[in-house]
Amino acid sequence: MTNEKWDSDTVAQITKEMILAMHQDLIRTGGQVHGVLCEGTLDYVVDEINSVPGVYAKAARSLVMSRYHPFFDGNKRTSFVLAETILRMNGHYLGRRDEDEIIDALQKISDAERECDTERIEAWLKKKSKTWFKARQRSIYDYF
């Protein structure tokens, strides 16, 4: 691991391999159906996430991945873990006390029949997320 410093607008590029590894791990531990439904959808999602600047914009687009159902199973779980990973890599996280609200939000986001506004999701993430290292606003990478 490098000692590279990350600011709030510098986020590592997300790769398809990262998402697949997260998905495989979630499916393995949850005992669900493994497999990619559409490789092209997964490529599109990766491009969408990497095309926007900022932690919250990337995390919001990660949550929206669940709408596109790139996997046979585990779409909401994978999109949440990806969003949470992006937040945590940049010193933020979603609190456990908000679990019911997070589950409700994921249900609404993944419902293709509902309107989906990524800017609203981004604003919700900003409102709900907490900051690690609040005293000095240090990145988690400062400890590696």
Instruction: Please report whether residue 121 resides in a domain.
Output: yes
Report which of residues 12 and 60 the model is more confident about: 60
Q: Which residue has the higher pLDDT, 32 or 104?
A: 104
Written as six digits, the tokens of 15 are: 């790769």
Q: What is the CATH number of the domain that holds 118?
A: 1.20.120.1870
Sign of CA dihedral 118, 124, 127, 130: negative
Give the residue-averaged pLDDT of 44-68. 95
Asked if residue 67 belongs to a domain, the reply is yes
Number of domains present in the structure of the chain: 1
Closest residue by Cα to residue 14 from 44, 37, 40: 44
- pLDDT tens, position by position, 77-136: 999 999 999 999 888 988 888 888 999 999 999 988 888 899 999 999 999 998 875 545
The answer to whether 87 touches 52, Cβ cutoff 8 Å, is no
In a domain, 11, yes or no: no
Decide if 32 is inside a domain. yes
Is 124 a domain residue? yes
* Interatomic CA distance for residues 30 and 28, integer angstroms: 6
In a domain, 5, yes or no: no
Domain coverage including residue 28: 16-143
CA angle (125, 4, 130) in 5-degree steps: 20
In a domain, 8, yes or no: no
Asked whether residue 113 is assigned to any structural domain, the reply reads yes
